[in-house]
Amino acid sequence: MTIDLLIKNGAVITMNDKREVIEHGDVAIQKGEIIAVGRNLEYEALKTIDAGGKVVAPGFINGHSHVYQSLIEGIGYDMHFDPWNWRFLFPVVSKITPEDAQASAALAALELIKNGVTTISDHWYLHTHMENIYRVTEVFDQAGLRAQMVFGLLDQTFAGERIDSEYMTMIQKEETLVNEARRYHQAWHNCNRTTIALGPGSTEDISESLMRKTVELARELDVNVSTHVAGWIEINSYTMKRFGERDLEHFHSLGLTGPKGVMFHAVWLSDREIEIMANTGTKVVHCPVANAYLGYGIAPISHMLSRGIAVGLGTDGAASYTYDMLEVGRAAAMLQKASKLDAEAVTAEEVMEMLTINGAKVLGLDQQTGSIEIGKKADLIVLDFNAPHLLPVGRWLPKLIYSARGSDVIHTVVEGKLLMEDRKVLTLSEEEVIAQALASREGLVERAGQETRDLLAMPWPKSGPAWRSIV
């Protein structure tokens, strides 16, 4: 039998139930699926990859992003969420066109593939044009990624009360959003490698009425409801004042908790709220770098893991400054260890679970992806360990987690197809994507107006850019 792809002689970190690591292992792939894993597999293959001295691992899963923000990294930085949003982010992103949306997704897709990410879940609420999310989804599809696209629903505001602001171009009426969510679901759910979820922004962003309709629609369509919960401390005060409950408690009352409830950030939770999540099978996407960078705090991940809650990892938006999930995973471990004064608070094995099989569980995709096992889709990566920072190896998994970088990934495979081979991305033109992204960024800053351009051009004294003291 001649198969499509055979990967030979690698250290295969399977992430199967036994968490086997097979030294000098082979992986056989046919029609996008893994058909055999083991030593000395005897197959003829159309293509064979020699993985000697290399690690073969399940592709990484980025469980939460806002890829439109890939165009605004470095515009305003080292600032709290609010001034950053109002002074820098909104004037720029409120002008996004479908072409910009496409350019942002292509840039993100390029970086994701180059960092060994095979599944991306993007929360897209930037409906300045309803076509935006379609352009983004098409880019991910054509790039060959697996995607869970979260259709964002915001009918009140985003990060504040200023509904009348000219920048709130992403806010749409309830009826429009519900109809558009249905249309988008019909177009893309279970199409190729894409699934759809519904994504209320936060308790602040969405009216009670739309929140209830979103929960109803998610039940009807049998899809995940994915939302920002208790990420920043102020949101708990807002929800408490408005509804007399903490953030997660309120989502629980509304029916968003349960196996199809996916909570982003989940930093400021009470012990009772963690119990609610554990008892209802609610999932979490932890964004340690964004949470740290924005001064949100450190989510109680080791507590959640000890209660059996499925936790995945995400980058969130521009605040992570990277799609390198190894960097994100390492931050997750370090922050727990340091804050708990406990070197075992989160282990390398737990980080790898969050990056792969548990990330897949969070998205409800663990029957398809997240481990190297017979019957699963062949979503996997090969990392070259013939490098000074990766030798001597000792144990493969902790060395991968603590020393490897996204740039050590040399091949990225999704559903048996090589998206990157020897660091060259095959499904996107790197030069064209970068040129388009730079042009989009320039156009957005231009259209954002004089105030934004003045802010960005301000002098840079010793203490940092001058705007930091005036925002």
Contacts to Zn ion by CB under 5 A: 316
Between residues 58 and 359, which has the closer beta carbon with respect to Zn ion? 359
Between residues 316 and 384, which has the closer beta carbon with respect to Zn ion? 316
Shortest CB 234 distance to Zn ion, Å: 15
For 122-147, b/e burial (b = at least 16 CB within 10 A) is bbbbbbbbeebbbbbbebbbebbbbb
Shortest CB 65 distance to Zn ion, Å: 8
Between residues 118 and 226, which has the closer beta carbon with respect to Zn ion? 226
For 235-266, b/e burial (b = at least 16 CB within 10 A) is bbeebeeeeebbbbbbbbebebbeebbbbbbb
How many Å apart are CA 153 and CA 124, to the nearest integer? Answer: 9
Shortest CB 184 distance to Zn ion, Å: 19
For 332-362, b/e burial (b = at least 16 CB within 10 A) is bbbbbbeebeeeebbbbebbbbbbbbbbbbb
Shortest CB 8 distance to Zn ion, Å: 40
Shortest CB 315 distance to Zn ion, Å: 9
Report which residue type is found at 20. E
Shortest CB 287 distance to Zn ion, Å: 7
Between residues 316 and 379, which has the closer beta carbon with respect to Zn ion? 316
Shortest CB 72 distance to Zn ion, Å: 14
Shortest CB 381 distance to Zn ion, Å: 25
How is residue 86 annotated by DSSP?
A: I
Between residues 111 and 316, which has the closer beta carbon with respect to Zn ion? 316
> Cα torsion for 375, 361, 81, 154, to the nearest 10°?
90
Nearest to 137 by CA among 85, 184, 201, 91: 184
Between residues 249 and 316, which has the closer beta carbon with respect to Zn ion? 316
How many Å apart are CA 33 and CA 330, to the nearest integer? Answer: 30
How many Å apart are CA 324 and CA 304, to the nearest integer? Answer: 24
Between residues 316 and 415, which has the closer beta carbon with respect to Zn ion? 316
Between residues 83 and 398, which has the closer beta carbon with respect to Zn ion? 83
How many Å apart are CA 266 and CA 281, to the nearest integer? Answer: 14
| Size of the chain in residues | 471
DSSP class per residue in 90-103: HHHHTT--HHHHHH
First to last CA, the chain: 66
Between residues 133 and 455, which has the closer beta carbon with respect to Zn ion? 133
Shortest CB 413 distance to Zn ion, Å: 28
CB 229 within 8 A of CB 263: yes
